[in-house]
Structure 1
Amino acid sequence: MKTHTTNAWGHIRSLGLLTCTFLLLSACNETPKSEKPNPEEPVQETPEMVKAPRQIISLDKADGLYKNYSKNRAESIAEMEAPTEDGKPFVPTRFLTISIEDLEQYIAFAKQEATKGEAEIDSLRIYLANYGKVKGKKDRRNTLFILPAAEAEGDYGGIYIGEDGKAKLIRNYFNANAMEQKSKASFMPNFKPTVANQGGQSLILNDLGDSPPPKEDF
Structure 2
Amino acid sequence: MIIIYKYQMRILALSALLFTLASCNEKKKPKQEKDPINKEVKAPKDIISLNEASSIYNNYTKHRISVIENYELEQRAPEKEFIPARFVDFDYQTIKNYIAYVDHEASKAGVKEVTKLRLYFANYPNEGKFADGKKVVHPRQNSIFMVPTLDKNGENHGFYIGEDGKAKLISDWKQNNKMEMGANSLNPNIKSHASMIPSFTLNSSLLAGTSLVLNRGNGGPPPKSEF
Question: For the structure 1 residues 45 and 93, does the alpha-carbon distance in structure 2 shift closer, same or farther, using more than 3 Å as the test?
Answer: same
- Matching residue's letter, 1:116: K
RMSD: 3.5
Shift of residue 46, structure 1, vs aligned partner: 5.1
Deviates more, 1:168-177 or 1:46-55: 46-55
1:217 counterpart residue number:
226
Deviates more, 1:75-84 or 1:105-114: 75-84
Kept in 2: contact 1:174–1:181 (CA 8 A)? no
- Matching residue's letter, 1:115: S
2:51 matches 1:60: yes
1:78 counterpart residue number:
69
2:124 matches 1:131: yes
SS state at 2:179 partner: helix
Kept in 2: contact 1:114–1:121 (CA 8 A)? yes
The runs of 5 or more residues in structure 2 that have no matched partner are 1-24, 129-135, 186-196
- Matching residue's letter, 1:104: K
Separation of aligned partners in 2, 1:97 and 1:90:
20
Shift of residue 199, structure 1, vs aligned partner: 3.1
Question: For the structure 1 residues 45 and 155, does the alpha-carbon distance in structure 2 shift closer, same or farther, using more than 3 Å as the test?
Answer: closer
SS state at 2:41 partner: coil
Kept in 2: contact 1:152–1:167 (CA 8 A)? no
Task: Give the TM-score, by structure 1 length.
Answer: 0.67
Query: Deviation string for 1:58-102 (max 9, x for gaps)?
Result: 1111111001000100122122212999x7742100001111110
Percent identity over the alignment is 39
2:212 matches 1:203: yes
1:104 counterpart residue number:
96
Question: For the structure 1 residues 115 and 216, does the alpha-carbon distance in structure 2 shift closer, same or farther, using more than 3 Å as the test?
Answer: farther
Separation of aligned partners in 2, 1:215 and 1:168:
43
- Matching residue's letter, 1:138: H
Kept in 1: contact 2:143–2:219 (CA 8 A)? no
Shift of residue 43, structure 1, vs aligned partner: 3.0
Kept in 2: contact 1:162–1:199 (CA 8 A)? yes
Question: For the structure 1 residues 152 and 166, does the alpha-carbon distance in structure 2 shift closer, same or farther, using more than 3 Å as the test?
Answer: farther
Question: For the structure 1 residues 206 and 174, does the alpha-carbon distance in structure 2 shift closer, same or farther, using more than 3 Å as the test?
Answer: same
2:181 matches 1:174: no
- Matching residue's letter, 2:83: V
Count matched residues. Answer: 173
Shift of residue 215, structure 1, vs aligned partner: 4.6
1:140 counterpart residue number:
140
Higher relative contact order (CA 8 A, sep 6+): 2
Task: Give the TM-score, by structure 2 length.
Answer: 0.64
- Matching residue's letter, 2:176: A
The runs of 5 or more residues in structure 1 that have no matched partner are 1-35, 190-195
1:157 counterpart residue number:
157
Separation of aligned partners in 2, 1:101 and 1:178:
36
Shift of residue 132, structure 1, vs aligned partner: 2.2
Separation of aligned partners in 2, 1:77 and 1:177:
30
Shift of residue 175, structure 1, vs aligned partner: 1.6
